[in-house]
């Protein structure tokens, strides 16, 4: 099982080569290396969108500068956007720009990135996590940003509470799991945020080594143990 691989984005090739080498030796790796490879670039969200999943509208760019940010605002009909790395985690290297707070003329992302309209729901109700073990919903988590930030990660003052999803919201998360191009995931975490339409959209489908929020899911350990045993 992958453990604390939270700097893989800095060494993606070595990380994936190691997983492949383990599988070649006949070691069962969870999640499998093919899943990790697919999940290590956020472009998988594009594939999910193409298969009909509810996603956040996104522009995929090889790089971005001030002109791209202004163009994205016009394209989305919004005054605020978020720019993030296509390979990234933990909110690192992410920016939020508004019409009265544009990047400097000479600013560039300097890498492949994605631009999205800023979802006001992140500030109003936060983000939701749905943890799945062996394809079955285990537990939900509500994640809110702390004062003065929009990122829900604890690194920026965010905090988590228990969350029991409505039937409609759970169905939204289950639809994302169903849209994944794999059916052998030991665990995955579907992070979702609400679109202005009221529907939840996938922000990330984390299948590498996501934090699975055991505090909010007391049954997690037993569920995971059972799913691991079934693979041995
Ligand atoms: N389009 C968006 N609108 C508002 N907030 C966003 C948007 N995209 C990301 N965020 C905020 O930034 C955080 C980190 O973005 P995310 O896409 O989850 O990347 P990662 O966690 O891999 O760094 C989210 O949890 C959310 O709080
Ligand atoms: Mg995230």
- pLDDT, residue 176, reads 98
Residue 7: the pLDDT is 81
Ligand 2 mean position to 89 CA, how many Å? 6
Question: Where does ligand 1 bind, in terms of residues with CB under 6 Å?
Answer: 56, 82, 84, 88-91, 94, 116, 118-119, 122, 127, 145, 150-152, 191, 203-204
Q: What percent of the chain has pLDDT over 70?
A: 100
User: Domains (ranges, CATH) in the chain?
Assistant: 10-54+122-229 (3.30.470.20), 59-118 (3.30.1490)
- Reported as a single tens digit per residue, the pLDDT across 199-229 is 999 999 999 988 999 999 999 999 999 999 9
pLDDT of the residue at 232: 87
Residue pLDDT, tens place only, 118-137:
999 999 999 999 999 999 99
pLDDT band at 87 (very low <50, low <70, confident <90, very high): confident
How far, in Å, CA of 182 to CA of 97, rounded? 35
Centre of ligand 2 from the C-alpha of residue 165, in Å: 19
Q: Give the residue whose CA is nearest to atom 14 of ligand 1.
A: 91
Q: Ligand 1 pocket: which of 46, 84, 126 to mutate (most atoms <8 Å of CB)?
A: 84
Mean pLDDT of 89-110: 94
CA of 207 to the centre of ligand 2 (A): 12
Residue 215: which residues within 8 A CB-CB, separation 6 or more?
Answer: 160
Segment 41-68, tens digit of pLDDT: 899 999 999 999 999 999 999 999 999 9
Q: Tell how far the Cα of 164 is from the centroid of ligand 1, in angstroms.
A: 21
What number does the ligand 1 atom closest to the CA of 92 have?
A: 23
pLDDT at 111: 96
- pLDDT (tens digit per residue) in 137-192: 999 999 999 999 999 999 899 999 999 999 999 999 999 999 999 999 999 999 99
SS (H, E, C) the chain: CCCCCCCHHHCHHHHHHHHHHHHHCCCCCCCCHHHHHHHCCCCHHHHHHHCCCCECCCEEECCCEHHHHHHHHHHHCCCEEEEEECCCCCCCCCEEEECCECCCCCCECCCCEEEEECCCHHHHCCEEEEEEECCEEEEEEEEECCCCCCCCCHHHCCEEEEECCCHHHHHHHHHHHHHCCCCCCCEEEEEEEECCCCCEEEEEEECCCCCCCHHHCCCHHHHHHHHHHCCC
Q: What is the pLDDT of residue 223?
A: 97
Q: Is the pLDDT of residue 38 over 80?
A: yes
- Could you tell which of 79, 94, 152 is best to mutate to test the pocket of ligand 1, judged by most ligand atoms within 8 Å of the CB? 94
Atom 23 of ligand 1 has which residue's CA nearest to it?
Answer: 91
| Residue 90 Cα distances to 87, 110, 135, 158, 210, angstroms | 11, 18, 24, 12, 11
- Closest ligand, as measured to the CA of 42: 1
Q: Of the bound ligands, which one is closest to the alpha carbon of residue 56?
A: 1
| CA-proximal residue: ligand 1, atom 22 (nearest) | 89
Q: Give the residue, out of 91, 125, 206, with the most ligand 1 atoms within 8 A of its beta carbon, to mutate for a pocket test.
A: 91
């Amino acid at each position: 099982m992958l453990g604390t691989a939270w700097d893989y984005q800095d060494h993606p090739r070595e990380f994936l080569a190691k997983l492949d080498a383990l599988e070649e030796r006949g070691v069962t790796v969870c999640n499998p290396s093919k899943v990790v490879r697919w999940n290590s670039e956020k472009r998988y969200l594009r594939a999910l969108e193409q298969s009909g999943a509810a996603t956040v509208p996104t522009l995929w760019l090889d790089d971005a500068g001030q002109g791209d940010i202004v163009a994205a605002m016009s394209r989305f009909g919004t005054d605020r956007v978020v720019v993030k790395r296509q390979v990234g985690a933990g909110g690192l290297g992410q920016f939020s720009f508004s019409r009265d707070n544009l990047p400097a003329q000479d600013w560039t992302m300097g890498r492949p990135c994605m631009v999205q309209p800023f979802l006001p729901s992140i500030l109003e109700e936060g983000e939701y996590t749905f943890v799945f073990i062996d394809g079955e919903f285990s537990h939900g988590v509500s994640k809110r940003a702390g004062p003065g930030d929009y990122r829900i990660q604890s690194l920026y003052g965010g905090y988590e509470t228990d969350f029991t999803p409505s039937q409609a919201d759970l169905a939204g998360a289950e639809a994302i799991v169903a849209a994944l191009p794999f059916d052998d995931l030991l665990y995955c975490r579907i992070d979702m945020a609400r679109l202005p339409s009221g529907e939840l959209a996938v922000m990330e489908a984390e299948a590498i080594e996501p934090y699975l929020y055991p505090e909010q899911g007391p049954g997690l350990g037993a569920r995971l143990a059972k799913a691991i045993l079934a693979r041995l």
